Structure formats: C-alpha cells, structure tokens
A and B are shown apart, each in its own frame.
Chain A
Amino acid sequence: MSDLSPAPSRSKGAKPTCFQELILTLQDYWAAQGCLILQPYDMEMGAGTFHTATTLRALGPKPWYAAYVQPCRRPSDGRYGENPNRLQHYYQFQAILKPSPPDILERYLGSLEAIGIDTGLHDIRFVEDDWESPTLGAWGLGWEVWCDGMEITQFTYFQQVGGIEVDLVAGEITYGLERLAMYLFDKKTVYELPYNSASSEVPLTYGDVFLQNEQEQSTYNFEHADTEMLFRHFADAEKECGRLIEKKLPLPAYDLCIKASHAFNMLDARGVISVTERQSFILRVRDLAKACCEAWLTTQTAKAA
C-alpha cells in the first residue's frame, strides 16, 4: 500500500513516536529551558559525563546550561547483539544546569511530559542513588528516577569533580535513550525500536542501523583487540597527557585522559587486567583527570578574576 501524500513533518508539541523524535523532542525541550544544544564529543567515552561540557564545565565559577547526545562505549557490556537491552555502544542524552535552578526537578518532570510520559497515568519515583566516578574523581548525590518501576533517568547534583569541590553545583540529568525508548514505544528488544517514523520514506529500526555494529564490535572488543597495542596506547596517552598539563593545555590533555580511559576499558573487556592491576589503572586515570581538572580550573578563575 502506498501513500502518495508526503510524510507529515513533526509538529510542535507532538509526542515522539520513534528514537530520533525522542532525541529531537528532548533537544527542543532543553533548548527552551535555556540550554546550549551541543553535539557529541568526538571521542570514545564510557558516559556522557566525560564530555568536556560536563566534566570540565562543572568546575569553576561560570554558569553553564547545556544539553547534548553522547554515544557511550562500554566494551564489557557488549553481547554480540544477542541481549535485548545490553549494548557496547549506546546513547545518553545529557542536560547539565549549573548552578542548579531551584525548580530543576519541575523542569525535569516537564521533559517527561514532553516525551509523552503522562504523570496522570504513571508512577514516578525518586529513589536514592548517589553517583561516583572513580576514574573522574567525581561524586554527587541524587536519585535514579523510576517510571512504573523502571529507571529512566539518573539525576545528580555534582559535589566534586577531579577531586575538586565545585564552586557552583551543577544538576546533571542523564537519560538512557534506548531504554527510555523501549519503554515509550513498548518494545521488548532494543533492535525493534523504530529509529525513524514508521511513516517515513525509508522506515528503519534500531537493529537496521546498529545490529551489525554490535556484532562486529563485540567480536573485536572481546576477541581481537590487540592488547599489546592497547597497553601501549594507554602508556602513550598517559605520558602525552602529563606533558600537555605541563604546557598548560588542559583541553588537549583531557582528550588524552579520555583516550587512556577508553584503552583501559578495552583492556578490561579483554580480561587481561587482574583485580589488583585494575585498581591501579583506575587510579592512574584518576590522576590524569585530576590534573586536567586542576589545570582547567586555573584558566577559569584567571579569566573570572
């Protein structure tokens, strides 16, 4: 059956019906809340928090409202595309509001309303969940937000980043997009999610876009990644990062910290890091993150003064 009329474009206020509309809706919503809409950081990272727009901008005296999608790579979570909801590559949508406004929870609940979660029908709960990132030397207090028993968001008030107590507290809101979409669109597996609208010219599912990637990347991560090369990459990145800190270049230094962190995650997935070594690798990444954050902070206070 063909429908000759053009596919309707997304109208303002309409509830999302597919993965990409979910992203667009969240972008529109947080843009209207005064957030910059940034693009993903162009490096492999384990969570949206690693984006400079969060880790570095959370420090220093300058206000900062931003939102962005960040692809996350967690090599150990790969399941060769065979698990309905575990992926080695997935997306987070992140909003960061610094300083956290008094009505930040109301604004967050507004975003749920925008993506089609009607609080007149659902049960939303804020369950204690304190967040800590050993590799970033960061921690904060907050909740996981439950919708009918499912965690749909991680909400954190940053207290410390890179081992440094924050000047202004950022409220960080992280939506796990695939999981949220599976809930909204009632799909049992991530691969069945409609990526674009069912009425578009070339309707595709999440599986059409990413299944092969999950299969190949899982195979690479678990079976073929060259561990000697990865150890070398880790050491190189660590060394270069230190050198750049000395040159007072926190941003490129931080890129190398991210590289080291990803090399560590890959080595971890390959199972070549023993329990005791694991701790020492985490500490080494943390030392880099700390040094980058400290160097970044000096650039911030200098300009502010």
Chain B
Amino acid sequence: MAELLLELLSEEIPARMQARAADDLKRLVCDGLKAAGLTFTDARAFATPRRLALVVDGLPVAREDVSDERRGPRIGAPDQAIQGFLKGAGLASLDEAEKRETGKGEFWFAIVTKKGGPTAEALPELIDAALKALPWPKSMKWGSGTMQWVRPLQSIVALFDDKVLAGEVAPGGQMAPIKFGDATRGHRFLSKGAIRVTGFADYTAKLRAAHVMLDVAERKRIILEGAEKLCAGAQVTLRVDEGLLDEVAGLVEWPVPLLGTIDAAFMDVPPEVLIVSMKTHQRYFATTTQDGLLANRFVVVANNVTRDGGATVVDGNERVLRARLSDAKFFWDQDRKVRLEDRLPALKNIVFHAKLGTQAERVGRLAKLAVEIAGHVPGADRGLVEQAALLCKADLVTGMVGEFPELQGIIGRYYALSEELPMAVADAIGDHYAPAGPNDRCPDAPVSIAVALADKLDALVSFWSIGEKPTGSRDPFALRRAALGVIRMVVENKIRLPLRNFFKADDLMAFFAERLKVQMREKGVRHDVVDAVFALGNEDDLVRLLARVEALQSFLGSDAGKNLLTAYGRAANIVRAEEKKDKGLAARIAGAPDVVLLEQIEEKAVVSALADVERTKGPALKAEDFAGAMAALAVLRAPIDAYFEKVTVNVTDRPELRLNRLKLLNQIRVTMDSVADFSKIEG
C-alpha cells in the first residue's frame, strides 16, 4: 500500500474559492483513480491561500491487468454498426473480435485488456486530467501561456510511495513546463527557500516548521482561541462571525490574532456602522462589553509574526481604521443636519428602475399602499404608517448610505430617532426591508408590518407589471425573497390580508402559492396535504389557508381521518374506473342521487349522513373551524363502510340503479372535496 501526495503551489488564491477547489481536486483525482481501477482507503484535501494539497492513502503499488468485455452488434449487422463497435472498442478489424452465442442470437464480442503495471505510471496522466478539469469560478492565463488557473501556478509536488512521479504541466507559450517534483515553499515572509518533502507526514511537519498551517479547521481554531484569549484579557467578548472567520482563515497561512483599539472619538457613531466598516473594509472582528454593547476593541488577524510582536501591525491597522471611521463620522455628523423629510425631493433624482420611475414615485406608491394595508393590520395607526412609508427611502440620499449601502434602513432609523420622530415611525423605517432571509428577524410592530408589506408587495406588483418575473435561474430583483417575506410577515403575525385586493395577476397569486408550498415543505408539512388544500383554489388569505392545512394534517394523523381516507379512496376509485370506461359518465352522475331509487337501507344511511355533513360543515367552514369541518366528515365513515359491504354498485341488469349508485359515490367525493381535495392525499 502506498500514498499519493499532491500539492499545487500558486500565487494567492481568493479566500472564497479555496474550500470548493480542495473538494473539487479530491473528487476529480478520486474519480480518476476509480476509473483507472485503483482502489484506496482514504483521501483528504486541503487549501491555504497559496496551495491546494491532496493526500490519498492505501493505493496499490501496481495494478493487475484488467480485461473488459464488450458486446457489439449482432452477427450480420449493418456495416455502420460494426464500424462503430470496432472504433469504440479500439479494434482494427473483426479478426480481433469473437463471435458468441448469447441465447438471444449470435453477437460480436470484444475483449479489451487494459495493461496493469506500476501505479506510478498511471498517475501522471490522471493528475494532469484532474488539473485541466478543475473548475475555478474565475480563472486566468499568465505570462505567455495559455493554461487557465485561478492565479499563476508555480510548482507541483507529486509524490507516490515517497518517490517523485514523472510528469509535468505545460502552461503553453514560451513558458517552461512545471515539472512534478518534491519541492515546495513555506510561508511567504516567514520562510526562505525551497523545502523538499518525502511524504504527507514529512510535508505537514516541514510546512508547520515553515509557518504554514495546512488545515483550515486548525487555522480557524487558532484564530478563535487566540481572539478569545485576547478578548478575555481586555474583558470584552468576541463577536463571532462565521462568514468572516471563514474568509479570514483563507487569507492567512499562519494566523496571528492581534487586538486593536477603536479611537474613542468614533464610539458615538452607530455600532452597526462601526461593525460593517470593520468587517467589510478591514475584515476585523468586533467585540462587545459585558452588557452586550459594542466595545472599543477589535481583533485583526495578521499573516505574519513580526519582530515587535505585532505592535507595528496593530498601529497601522488602527490608523487605517481611523481614516475609515473618520469618513463614517463625517457622514454621521453632516447627514443629521438635514431632516429626512427635506431629503425627499432628492429622491426624484434616483431611478428605481428605468421602466418603473424614480424612488420618489415609488415612495408615493408605498405611502398609498401602506395605508391601505394598515386597514388590515390591527393597531396600525394610519397617520404613522403614512409618515413612515414616506420617509423610509430618504436615507438612500444620505452620505452614510452612499458609503455603506448595506446599512439602508438602519441608518434611516437612527436619523429618525435623532430628529425625535415617533419611535414606531423610526422602527418602521429601520425594519421595512426585513425579513432579508429565512433567518432574519420578521417585523412584528403594526406600523413596521404595514410598511414592510407595502415595500414588498409594491416590488412584486411593479416588476410583474413590466414582465420582470423571476425564472428558475434568474431573480435579479429578489422577488422570491420578497414573496417569502410577505408570507412570513402575514403568517407569523396572523395578518388577515386578502392578497387579491392588491393585485390582479393570476400568475402572481400562483407564485405566492408556490413559495408557500416550498416554505411549508421545508417545515416538514406533507406536500400532499398542502396540495389538497391548494387544489381548492381561490384562497388568498394565507392565514386561513394554513389553518386548513394544519387541520387537515392533524385530521389525517388521527384514526378517524385515516379510516375515512380509505373509505373515500374506495368510492373515488370506483367512480374513476367507471369514468375511464365511459367518457360521458361524469356528466350523467353529477348532482344528487334520486331518492326513489335508493333501495337498500345502507344507501339511505349514506345519503342521510351526507345531509348531516352538509348541515354541520357549512357553518364550521364559515367560522374557520376547520378541525370541526373535518370532524363532521368523520361521521361518513361507518355508513360508507356498511355501504361497500352490502351494496353492489355495478348492477349489470339495471342501468338506472347502477347510475344512481355511482351518483351517490360521486356525491361522497364532492362533499369531502369541498373541505379539502382528498384525491391529492397519498394513501
């Protein structure tokens, strides 16, 4: 058993691409090994800013010959088929093939023998193929070459069984080939010269000595532990941000967390501004005090161990942050000199969308729509809703949002507060983009709900009206997210909003239905139950719709529900089978059965039970007591069971009787389907 070690050293690989590239390298090489008939016990891939590495354990040193049999066309098949077969099997003529009787006739067979031999001979080609197939999200050529890689590729370590594999990669042009070797390099600044390695254990040990931590999990652990230790020393708490941690771990081969201080002059700027500025511009971690407020310390992760213990690095980073934050503070101070209301005219200069006019026009629509929605939101004061809707986009023309677009809304809220506008208005401005995703907080204050709903419904209706509907792969205006936001706000706050009042387009309603289905499926609601309720159609009150889904799901979970479903199934199956045989039947069995033709007591019992159901279900549905409506259906079960036991439906000699009995079965179906379409339920 032997080990394969592969390392691709390049110039700095973007952090966001590293993990995926390591996985792809592993997948491609492993697939190649399997295709070549090479077994192995384990494969692990690694990525740092400068290298992808792969180790495969337990490979055989040599392979047996493998013979592969291929069946070709029948003897005497057209020449075209014969030629295709020969070409595919790599044979020169039929002399090299054999005839064989298969029981289904005589066929040509090709026996192709793949030569075995040392594994080391098979690997270079396989590695070359994997490198060529590796899919970088963005790749480039360099020098005079034609090869594509994420950044210039510098060297390749390829060792099998501790020996260098014979192979190379040619970048093309006038460039020297990159020969497989046993030499790599350590950290860009903390290591000098080439490092020769003999195998994976030696490789990782020597890299560590050369200040490279190969495993991203270890780099993340060192960053977290180091950062937390620094924070503990300063009596602050690290604000762990997983996305940032992933990115930072991809920017360093040797992480060195350092603690810096935010200049006191900036601590009155809103914490969101400081956090965003530190994260997006500088990749710093923020910290909090014991009472959860933003602390004046930050953690920066350096990629270098410096002579002065990081003093210069911290000093430099603090200076950069000061420059960044003085911009932010400048905006904070300047912006507050102009009231949000006085910024509204400037919205006329911002185009929302070429076909949908300016932000000023949009705000006009929002205000109208939000007030209309407010009528359906208990506790939403129309005056406050209108004020909030009019001001909600005013921060788009502030300097701060110009600099930090991701703070839109949040900044508007701060400015509204500093103007001493009503808290509900400020909060609605701050909340009106929410929820931004399934895990984002959903607005729950009445004024906020009205404005946030208006923002999303206007976007949906407007983009719909100009034909900008999302497709499977394209949703540039995030309309799926908008629809999901509407659904969450309506459902979580139990807002009785008749969606049909706000738009006419049927396919927009269908779009909502589709989103709601997806969302419920994710919550583990049975998809057939959802379908059964949606099949009723015409429901635009999501709260009522969900109540029905819930009632149906729990009804079907009960014995009464399960048994009734069985009975329904029997009735529906017979009707369906008969309808299949006789195209015109459906029309003839519509409507109530003829009482005169009810001969058996079991028939009469079903009719009377159906009448009972009709009496109780109506009021229950009206009162939105869906559990009650389902329970009312349950009384059908015993009479239906007795009916099937005693009554023959397809009486051959009396067609009028048969028709009447089918009418009765159909009536069972119709009555039950008015509560939910039981035909959609899977047994």
A residues sitting closer than 8 Å to B (CB atoms) are: 84-85, 99-102, 105, 119-128, 130, 140-141, 143, 147-150, 157, 159, 167-169, 171, 183, 186, 274-276
Q: A100 to chain B: which residues have CB within 8 Å? A: 142-143, 152
Measured CA separation A150–B252 after assembly (Å): 16
Q: B405 to chain A: which residues have CB within 8 Å? A: none
Contact present for A119 and B354 (CB under 8 Å): no
Contact present for A169 and B303 (CB under 8 Å): no
Measured CA separation A125–B14 after assembly (Å): 11
Q: Is the C-beta of B306 less than 8 angstroms from some C-beta in chain A?
A: yes
Contact present for B142 and A157 (CB under 8 Å): yes
Interface centre among A119, A122, A126 (most CB of B within 10 A): A126
Q: Is the C-beta of B140 less than 8 angstroms from some C-beta in chain A?
A: yes
5 closest Cβ pairs, A-B complex: A148-B316, A128-B14, A126-B12, A123-B302, A149-B317
Q: A85 to chain B: which residues have CB within 8 Å? A: 323
Q: B313 to chain A: which residues have CB within 8 Å? A: 121-123, 148
Q: Which of A122, A130, A148, A274 contacts B351 (CB 8 A)?
A: A274
Q: Is the C-beta of B77 less than 8 angstroms from some C-beta in chain A?
A: no
Measured CA separation A48–B145 after assembly (Å): 26
In the assembled complex, the CB of A212 is this many whole angstroms from the nearest CB of chain B, namely 23
0/1 interface trace, chain B 284-314, chain A, CB 8 Å (1 if under): 1000000000000000101110111000110
Q: Is the C-beta of B502 less than 8 angstroms from some C-beta in chain A?
A: no
Measured CA separation A119–B304 after assembly (Å): 8
Q: Is the C-beta of B321 less than 8 angstroms from some C-beta in chain A?
A: yes
Contact present for B142 and A122 (CB under 8 Å): no
Q: Is the C-beta of B282 less than 8 angstroms from some C-beta in chain A?
A: yes
Contact present for A124 and B189 (CB under 8 Å): yes
Q: A148 to chain B: which residues have CB within 8 Å? A: 312-313, 315-317, 319-320
In the assembled complex, the CB of B78 is this many whole angstroms from the nearest CB of chain A, namely 46
Q: A159 to chain B: which residues have CB within 8 Å? A: 140-141
0/1 interface trace, chain B 305-349, chain A, CB 8 Å (1 if under): 011100011011101110100100000000000000000000000
0/1 interface trace, chain B 253-281, chain A, CB 8 Å (1 if under): 00000000000000000000000000000
Interface centre among B142, B154, B326 (most CB of A within 10 A): B142
Q: B154 to chain A: which residues have CB within 8 Å? A: 102
Measured CA separation A124–B306 after assembly (Å): 11
In the assembled complex, 30 residue pairs joining A and B whose CB atoms fall closer than 8 Å, in A order, are: A85-B323, A99-B174, A100-B142, A100-B152, A102-B143, A102-B154, A102-B175, A120-B307, A123-B313, A124-B189, A124-B304, A125-B303, A126-B12, A126-B49, A127-B251, A130-B138, A140-B140, A148-B313, A148-B319, A149-B282, A149-B284, A150-B319, A157-B140, A157-B152, A167-B144, A169-B141, A169-B145, A183-B319, A275-B351, A276-B351
Given known A-B contacts A148-B313, A159-B140, A276-B354, A105 and B11 have beta carbons under 8 A apart:
yes
Contact present for A99 and B173 (CB under 8 Å): yes
In the assembled complex, the CB of A132 is this many whole angstroms from the nearest CB of chain B, namely 11
Closest to B153 in A: A102
Q: Is the C-beta of B570 less than 8 angstroms from some C-beta in chain A?
A: no
Contact present for B11 and A119 (CB under 8 Å): no
Contact present for A122 and B14 (CB under 8 Å): no
Measured CA separation A71–B307 after assembly (Å): 37
Q: B302 to chain A: which residues have CB within 8 Å? A: 123
Measured CA separation A126–B11 after assembly (Å): 9
Contact present for B316 and A84 (CB under 8 Å): no
Q: Is the C-beta of B16 less than 8 angstroms from some C-beta in chain A?
A: yes
Closest to A82 in B: B330
Contact present for B143 and A149 (CB under 8 Å): no
Measured CA separation A169–B140 after assembly (Å): 9
Given known A-B contacts A123-B302, A126-B12, A102 and B316 have beta carbons under 8 A apart:
no
In the assembled complex, the CB of A181 is this many whole angstroms from the nearest CB of chain B, namely 14
Q: Is the C-beta of B382 less than 8 angstroms from some C-beta in chain A?
A: no
Q: Which of A84, A121, A274 contacts B323 (CB 8 A)?
A: A84
Q: Which of B12, B152, B282 contacts A102 (CB 8 A)?
A: B152
Q: A157 to chain B: which residues have CB within 8 Å? A: 140, 142, 151-152
0/1 interface trace, chain B 147-179, chain A, CB 8 Å (1 if under): 000111010000000000000000001110000
Contact present for B323 and A128 (CB under 8 Å): no
Measured CA separation A278–B141 after assembly (Å): 32
Q: A169 to chain B: which residues have CB within 8 Å? A: 140-145
In the assembled complex, the CB of B212 is this many whole angstroms from the nearest CB of chain A, namely 15
Beyond known contacts A102-B152, A121-B306: 19 more, CB 8 A cutoff? A84-B326, A100-B143, A119-B304, A121-B307, A121-B312, A121-B313, A122-B312, A122-B313, A123-B306, A124-B188, A124-B304, A125-B252, A126-B49, A149-B282, A150-B320, A157-B151, A157-B152, A169-B143, A274-B351
Q: Is the C-beta of B15 less than 8 angstroms from some C-beta in chain A?
A: yes
Measured CA separation A85–B304 after assembly (Å): 28
Contact present for A122 and B144 (CB under 8 Å): no
Q: A143 to chain B: which residues have CB within 8 Å? A: 12
Interface centre among A140, A148, A168 (most CB of B within 10 A): A148
Measured CA separation A140–B154 after assembly (Å): 19
Given known A-B contacts A128-B16, A141-B140, A149 and B304 have beta carbons under 8 A apart:
no
Measured CA separation A105–B351 after assembly (Å): 43
Measured CA separation A124–B189 after assembly (Å): 9
Contact present for A149 and B11 (CB under 8 Å): no
Q: B321 to chain A: which residues have CB within 8 Å? A: 149
Closest to A167 in B: B144
Measured CA separation A186–B140 after assembly (Å): 37
